[in-house]
A = this chain, B = another copy of it.
Amino acid sequence: MNFHGGDIYSCQGEVLDFSSNINPLGVPESFRMALCEKITDFTRYPDIQYRALRAELAEYLGFDDPELVIPGNGAVEIIYKTILALESARMINLSPTFSEYARAARQNGVEVIDLNIYDASFTDLDFSLLFAALIPNSLVVLCNPNNPTGTFVEREKMCFLARELAQKDCFLLIDEAFIEFTDHYPENSMIGELGHYPNVILIRAATKFFGMPGIRLGFGVSKNKQLIRGIREHLEPWNVNAAAVLAGCTVYRDQEYITASRAWVKEEREFLFHQLSKIDGLTVYPSKANYHLAKISRGKMDAWALKNRLLEKGVLIRTPDGFNYLSAYHFRLAVKDRPSNQRLVEVLREVLSCHG
């Protein structure tokens, strides 16, 4: 069963894919050029210690210790191995969120408590509900900004959470896979705070912001040496392939791509939000990321029916499958380029008004 976006492999014909929330600018040209030039990199095993890649990532993050940056075959691999290494008594999953956290915990025999501590508009989280569910050695997972709600926890509030969890002998995994899309990046990242919170691991990825989920490059960063060593022991050798190494050593220094992407996504997110807000029968939630959660607020059509109606018009949306605490009327929309966004608004208006 596929509970993820982007399953265009199951669709027929040309489709505007709003189900996969990745950078609309696509693969950076710098990477395309590097890949064609450095094809010979494939004739070698990757450096089993990934020295150059770790140094590059640390440099990008402004993080002082490359030894404590650990690259993975996508962020998902590091999330799985973190759970293996921590041997937590319990995972507290803050739903609705990315389904792989809970799947990873369950696969490794860790009990999952799935809490919805969001307010009705998904703009804030009530941590007191979370604290009540903690036992010592719990692992709390927080996607920031959160997928699919677009909610963002500011740095000060995140520090408060990390501090409280430390006092309760609990660990915090923060998935910042989408953070480069937020307006106040990099100041809002927890990267600069890691020294104060050895009970925190940060997860990042090239997947979303650099428009290349196909590359499978993610990494973990923590000041907790024991944890990083534990993750490393669970990783299989050469887990990151030469294409992903090359991507990591190229795109993070592509300042032009980074600047252009941030400007573009900000503008298009605001455009899309504004346009979607005007559609009758639709609620759209504010988001700090490159996607919007939305809800069919009138009529009987649910998200799956809407998906089918939109697919007839060549538009694919993300139904709520796999997201706990979303209703059958919620769905997620990626922010894409202007013509695509306009087309989306048009067909949504058409389908929802026909129905209403």
A interface, CB within 8 angstroms of B: 2, 4, 6-9, 17, 20, 22, 26-27, 31-32, 35-36, 39-49, 51, 73-74, 76-77, 80, 100, 104, 107, 211-216, 233-234, 236-239, 241-245
Contact = CB atoms under 8 A, between A and B. Distances in A.
Contact of A39 (B35, B41, B216): B35
Given A27-B39, A236-B74, A20 B44 contact: yes
B43 A32 contact: no
A100 B239 CA distance: 13
27 contacts: A4-B48, A4-B237, A8-B44, A9-B47, A27-B39, A27-B43, A31-B42, A32-B36, A35-B35, A41-B214, A42-B211, A42-B212, A42-B214, A44-B213, A44-B214, A45-B213, A73-B236, A74-B241, A76-B236, A76-B238, A77-B236, A77-B239, A104-B236, A215-B243, A216-B241, A242-B243, A243-B244
Contacts of A213: 42-46, 238
Contacts of A236: 73-74, 76-77, 80, 104
Given A42-B213, A45-B214, 7 more contacts: A27-B43, A36-B36, A43-B212, A73-B239, A104-B236, A107-B233, A216-B238
A77 B47 CA distance: 17
Nearest to A100: B237
A40 B26 contact: yes
Contacts of A216: 46, 238-239, 241-242
Contacts of A214: 41-46, 241-243, 245
A6 B47 CA distance: 9
Nearest to A8: B44
A234 to B, nearest CB: 7
A123 B241 CA distance: 34
Contact of A20 (B8, B45, B215, B244): B45
A73 B4 contact: no
Contacts of A241: 73-74, 214-216, 241, 243-244
